[in-house]
Amino acid sequence: MRTLIWGSTFKKAYKRVLKKHPNLAKDIKKTLELLVEDPFDSRLESHKLKGKLSGTWTCRASYDLRIIFDFVKQKDERDDAIFLIEIGTHEEVY
């Protein structure tokens, strides 16, 4: 099972999103659970990014809410960890 690592930028953005849209808390929680189980689950629509965010990944948390993340190696762990970078609307994160 993978581990989620919450980056400082992600933590701030997460608080901002929940303050603006508290109704999205359940969707975000479900998305993070799916990421841990299988980051390539078709419901997440995960894909690698290009351009200035090249090398990172994104997934869909709701209609217009995206999570930017990356896979990182963890010492003595079998699976990669998932480093959460950013969360926000399509326009906010890209």
pTM value is: 0.93
* Residue pLDDT tens, the chain, 94 long: 789 999 999 999 999 999 999 999 999 999 999 999 999 999 999 999 999 999 999 999 999 999 999 999 887 777 789 999 999 998 999 8
CATH number, domain of 86, equals 3.30.2310.20
Determine the Cα–Cα distance for residues 35 and 20; give it in Å rounded to an integer. Answer: 23
- Structural domain of 60: 4-93
Q: What are phi and psi of 35, to 5 degrees?
A: -60, -40
Q: What are phi and psi of 30, to 5 degrees?
A: -60, -40
- Number of independent structural domains in the chain: 1
